[in-house]
Amino acid sequence: MLNIRRILWPTDLTDQAERAFPHAATLAAWHDADLHILNVVEKGTGKSAGTKETFPVPEATLTGFLRRHEAPPQSVNLEALTVVQDQERGESPPDAITAYVDGHDIDLVVMGTHGRRGLRHLFIGSVAEGVVRRASCPVLTVREGSELAPAWRIRNILVPVDFSEASLEALRHAKELALTYGAQITLLHVVEEVVYPSAYGLDPVNLPGAEVVTRVEENLAEIARDEIGYEHVEVEANVGYAPSSIHDYAETNDADLITIATHGRTGLERMLLGSVAERVVRQAPTPVFVVKSFGKSLLPPSAEASS
């Protein structure tokens, strides 16, 4: 089981934030963790979806969030949780949230995302992606507009693997999540197509064939054996563009959770190109558990020692 002592649920008191609450409460209950609830009011504007009259969030309201679609199992008992509610002022919500993470030694952030796209997204971004980019701990995002399995009924976990150490760290976190939920794991690697413009004067590059895909799946199977064992794990390789291939695979194969690593790319390169993890957070039809290559590990000591 992951070493989770404090979980943060940032909320602007909208429906998008509400969708993430059952995931935060379920993981807090199963890990006997404190649940922190944070509402940020932007300095100078006073903008917040909440007001002093609606925050702190009443326990009855939180119970309604948890039971909106299905009654939780007895193991998810909101009354048994230690709940801490704070409302803070900040220059921007991502800055305030990440400062709270550091100041309260938060282990996991669970939050909703609007899945914003297009030009507005490029220049403004989203609060969730800002937190994914900067927070020192893993972040679990839940996107609006998706039909989700109940938070306590995660059965299929998809782990994109690019054979980097960061993606193996995400796989180790996924293994512990699978043990917690009683889920199976699928390892997916996307072989990227290479296409050059005709202006380069180069002959078309042959697309990766079946032999390459087979070899990749053999390597994934070796990783599965070393990191997980053969039981409750599948491997898959395909050819395409990584973010959209991950999205399509998750949707087609009814994945309930994606666990992915971010390499922490920053600056102009990240703004223009993004990272695979951020694009997956933006588009995925399922919750996404993002593990930072540069941040806190939640692995238990036994898993850390074997990695």
For the domain that residue 57 is a member of, what is the CATH number? 3.40.50.620
Range 28-47 average pLDDT? 87
The answer to whether the CB of 49 falls within 8 A of the CB of 60 is no
Model pLDDT, residue 52: 47
Residues 33, 8: Cα–Cα separation, whole Å: 10
pLDDT-based confidence at 150, cuts 50/70/90? very high
The length of the chain in residues reads: 307
Which two three-digit tokens encode residue 141? 């995002």
Which two three-digit tokens encode residue 302? 């036994």
Task: Looking at the structure, tell me whether residues 141 and 161 fall in a common domain.
Answer: no
13-17, 51-55, 261-265, 270-274: least confidently modelled range: 270-274
Model pLDDT, residue 304: 65
Task: Looking at the structure, tell me whether residues 135 and 187 fall in a common domain.
Answer: no
Task: Looking at the structure, tell me whether residues 66 and 212 fall in a common domain.
Answer: no
Share of the chain above pLDDT 90, in %: 59
Q: Which residue reads 């959770």 in tokens?
A: 257
Strands 288-292 and 139-143: antiparallel
Q: Supply the DSSP symbol for 80.
A: G
Residue 31 domain boundaries:
1-152
Helix 242-252 and helix 276-283: axis angle, to 10°? 40
Model pLDDT, residue 71: 92
Task: Looking at the structure, tell me whether residues 168 and 145 fall in a common domain.
Answer: no
88 pLDDT more than 50? yes
Residue with the larger pLDDT of the pair 157 and 263: 157
Task: Looking at the structure, tell me whether residues 11 and 65 fall in a common domain.
Answer: yes
Range with top average pLDDT, 215-219, 264-268, 294-298:
215-219
271 pLDDT more than 50? no
Task: Looking at the structure, tell me whether residues 138 and 160 fall in a common domain.
Answer: no
Residue with the larger pLDDT of the pair 279 and 99: 99
Nearest to 11 by CA among 136, 116, 131, 91: 131
Task: Looking at the structure, tell me whether residues 133 and 213 fall in a common domain.
Answer: no
* CA–centroid distance for 129 within its chain: 10
Q: What's the domain count of the chain?
A: 2
Model pLDDT, residue 220: 94
Task: Looking at the structure, tell me whether residues 12 and 147 fall in a common domain.
Answer: yes
Task: Looking at the structure, tell me whether residues 4 and 52 fall in a common domain.
Answer: yes
Task: Looking at the structure, tell me whether residues 95 and 203 fall in a common domain.
Answer: no
298 pLDDT more than 80? yes
Name 150's Cβ contacts closer than 8 Å, sequence gap at least 6.
22, 69, 70, 72
**Could you tell me the pTM of the whole model?**
0.88
Average pLDDT of the chain to the nearest whole number: 85
Last residue of a domain, one of 152, 187, 205: 152
pLDDT-based confidence at 180, cuts 50/70/90? very high
Model pLDDT, residue 68: 85
* CA–centroid distance for 149 within its chain: 15
Residues 8, 93: Cα–Cα separation, whole Å: 14
Range 76-101 average pLDDT? 93
pLDDT-based confidence at 94, cuts 50/70/90? very high
Task: Looking at the structure, tell me whether residues 31 and 140 fall in a common domain.
Answer: yes
Which two three-digit tokens encode residue 157? 């976990």
Residues 160, 24: Cα–Cα separation, whole Å: 23
Model pLDDT, residue 250: 94
pLDDT-based confidence at 73, cuts 50/70/90? very high
Task: Looking at the structure, tell me whether residues 293 and 148 fall in a common domain.
Answer: no
Nearest to 181 by CA among 211, 162, 155: 155
46 pLDDT more than 70? no
